[in-house]
């Protein structure tokens, strides 16, 4: 597009640094400025309509333009627009939402700490695990084990937990307190002829060997997304979580479930822990907690962890951790209303029902010559594009085809996420089967364009 001097696009280029962006490319091409949203659609400042196939960033459960969330924010802004939760202060929405989360999350998780983002929440997980083990007189038990391909945020600590090079190259990450083990993606990392169950056995054995090599007395926690999101929508192999948890319990290693993307209905169950049979010691939630209308995340912990850190706070005089906006009254008020909408409108059941339709529609592309794998659960899915179907060979360089798909999809009124050459879908939970059909039709038209582009030798555009 032509960027006019002094336009909104030119001012964006001049002043704003964008995440996950090639800045020089951005200077050349400029932004797509999203002006408004309604339901599953967003509209740019040129009047173009898009199906938001990734719900923003995996997050807008109730759709765009939901008046009840706007009204909840306005009511709370008028009553108490801000207050903190330091030094015994509190506010009604944060109390009610903490109680709600303790009630609705998996059994055994009873206490809630609020942050502003999933990255901050996972950073807090690290500090809580360290504080907890110091409280128990185990100062060496501080290491975390995470997975290659996992995503847990971009702060220094959470960025170290993340197992994606794109988030670590150039930043001197990960820090050495994190050890990474094999990504649980059967399509890419199973050995020839290895069943899902056998692959899960091997990964559990690898985890145990890593704990033993590091020394169980030094390993604090294992962290994982039940279904991995930003790494490519990777569904774990059958029996994986059962076996991984058994290893952790044998060695007194905490289990941390990162449900920042999975939580509040995305997989067709309220939490992915329910779908995969996970009983975590800590649970991390964000994104769909407010449909990202307000920044909010939470760490929900077991009573055993709470009691240990509460005792330590008395010994030390305080729990010296927190954020200016922890338990922000407007964010938590919006969170309460958002969760009420999810419950009242049956959006978890809708994710299961419409999600089954989405999965079926996408799996119809399994025989396409560019498609290596179709995967997902509920209303989250991915289609991995490959250079050679038989060998599973990736395109060279990886990500070139995916990025071209991402760009071309805009021309067909579709916003998706390209994770290298995997095309990810995560639409709002309100989506209907008819809307899924339209979204997939736009995907199919884009796929046709990409097939023609590849056949032409992938010319520069």
| Closest to 215 (Cα-Cα) out of 142, 126, 160, 158 | 142
Give the residues across from 52 on adjacent strands.
Answer: 415
Share of the chain above pLDDT 90, in %: 98
Using the predicted structure, report yes or no on whether residue 1 has a pLDDT greater than 80: no
Give pLDDT tens digits for 140-169: 999 999 999 999 999 999 999 999 999 999
CA distance 302 to 318: 20
Give the architecture (CATH level 2) of 68-344. Answer: 3-Layer(aba) Sandwich (3.40)
Give the residues across from 277 on adjacent strands.
Answer: none
Give pLDDT tens digits for 111-132: 999 999 999 999 999 999 999 9
| Intervals of CATH 3.90.1150.10 along the chain | 32-62+346-455
Using the predicted structure, report yes or no on whether residue 437 has a pLDDT greater than 80: yes
Give pLDDT tens digits for 80-120: 999 999 999 999 999 999 999 999 999 999 999 999 999 99
Looking at residue 67, its pLDDT comes to 98
Q: Which CATH class is domain 32-62+346-455?
A: alpha beta
5 band by pLDDT with thresholds 50, 70 and 90: confident
Burial 87-124 (b: 16+ CB within 10 A, else e): eeeebebbeebbebbeeebbeebbbbbbbbbbbbbbbb
| Intervals of CATH 3.40.640.10 along the chain | 68-344
Interacting residues of 244 by C-beta distance below 8 A, sequence separation 6+: 203, 204, 207, 222, 224, 255
CA distance 111 to 286: 16
CA distance 15 to 3: 14
Using the predicted structure, report yes or no on whether residue 194 has a pLDDT greater than 70: yes
Using the predicted structure, report yes or no on whether residue 461 has a pLDDT greater than 80: no
Residue that is written with structure tokens 């089954």 in the block:
356
Interacting residues of 78 by C-beta distance below 8 A, sequence separation 6+: none
SS3 261: coil
Looking at residue 202, its pLDDT comes to 98
Give pLDDT tens digits for 376-418: 999 999 999 999 999 999 999 999 999 999 999 999 999 999 9
The pTM for the full model equals 0.96
Looking at residue 4, its pLDDT comes to 81
Give pLDDT tens digits for 197-222: 999 999 999 999 999 999 999 999 99
Give pLDDT tens digits for 220-274: 999 999 999 999 999 999 999 999 999 999 999 999 999 999 999 999 999 999 9
Q: How many CB atoms lie within 10 A of CB 377?
A: 23
Give one DSSP letter per residue of 75-100, joined into a string: HHHHH-S----STT---HHHHHHHHH
Looking at residue 64, its pLDDT comes to 98
| Closest to 79 (Cα-Cα) out of 293, 330, 321 | 330
Q: Where are the beta strands (DSSP E) in 198-324?
A: 219-224, 254-258, 282-285, 297-302
Question: Six-digit token pair at 316?
Answer: 């030390």
CA distance 287 to 117: 8
Looking at residue 3, its pLDDT comes to 80
């Amino acid at each position: 597009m032509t960027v006019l001097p002094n336009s909104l696009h030119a001012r964006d280029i001049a002043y704003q640094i964008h995440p996950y962006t090639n800045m020089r490319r951005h200077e050349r091409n400029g932004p797509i400025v999203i002006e408004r949203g309604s339901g599953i659609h967003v509209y740019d400042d040129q009047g173009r309509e898009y199906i938001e196939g990734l719900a923003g960033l995996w997050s807008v459960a109730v759709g765009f333009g939901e008046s009840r969330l706007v009204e909840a924010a306005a009511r709370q802004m008028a009553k108490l627009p801000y207050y903190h939760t330091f030094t015994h202060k509190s506010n009604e929405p944060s109390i009610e939402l903490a109680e709600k989360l303790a009630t609705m999350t998996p059994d055994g998780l009873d206490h809630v700490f609020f942050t502003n983002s999933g990255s901050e929440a996972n950073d807090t997980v690290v500090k809580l695990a360290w504080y907890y083990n110091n409280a128990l007189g185990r100062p060496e038990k501080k290491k975390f084990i995470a997975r290659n391909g996992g995503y847990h945020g971009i702060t220094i600590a959470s960025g170290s937990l993340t197992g994606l090079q794109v988030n670590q190259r150039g930043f001197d990450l990960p820090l050495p307190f994190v050890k990474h083990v094999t990504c649980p993606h059967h399509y890419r990392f199973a050995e020839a002829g290895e069943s899902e169950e056998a692959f899960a056995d091997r990964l559990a054995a690898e985890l145990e060997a890593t704990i033993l090599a590091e020394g169980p007395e030094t390993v604090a926690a294992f962290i994982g997304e039940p279904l991995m999101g930003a790494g490519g929508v990777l569904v774990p192999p059958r029996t994986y979580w059962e076996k991984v948890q058994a290893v952790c319990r044998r060695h007194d290693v905490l289990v941390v479930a990162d449900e920042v993307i999975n939580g509040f209905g995305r997989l067709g169950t309220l939490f992915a822990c329910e779908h995969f049979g996970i009983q975590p010691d800590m649970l991390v939630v964000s994104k769909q907690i407010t449909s990202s209308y307000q920044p909010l995340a939470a760490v929900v912990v077991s009573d055993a962890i709470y009691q240990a850190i509460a005792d330590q706070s008395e010994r030390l005089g305080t729990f010296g951790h927190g954020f200016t906006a922890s338990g922000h009254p407007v964010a938590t008020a919006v969170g309460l209303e958002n969760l009420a909408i999810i419950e009242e409108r049956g959006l978890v059941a809708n994710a299961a029902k419409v999600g089954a339709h989405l999965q079926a529609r996408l799996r119809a592309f399994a025989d396409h010559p560019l498609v290596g794998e179709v995967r997902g659960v509920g209303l989250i899915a991915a289609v991995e594009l490959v250079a050679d179907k038989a060998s599973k060979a990736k395109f060279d360089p990886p990500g070139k085809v995916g990025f071209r798909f991402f760009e071309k999809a805009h021309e067909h009124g579709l916003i998706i996420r390209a994770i290298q050459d995997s095309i990810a879908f995560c639409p709002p939970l309100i989506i209907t089967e008819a809307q899924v059909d339209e979204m997939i039709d736009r995907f199919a038209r884009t796929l046709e364009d990409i097939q023609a582009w590849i056949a032409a030798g992938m010319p520069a555009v």
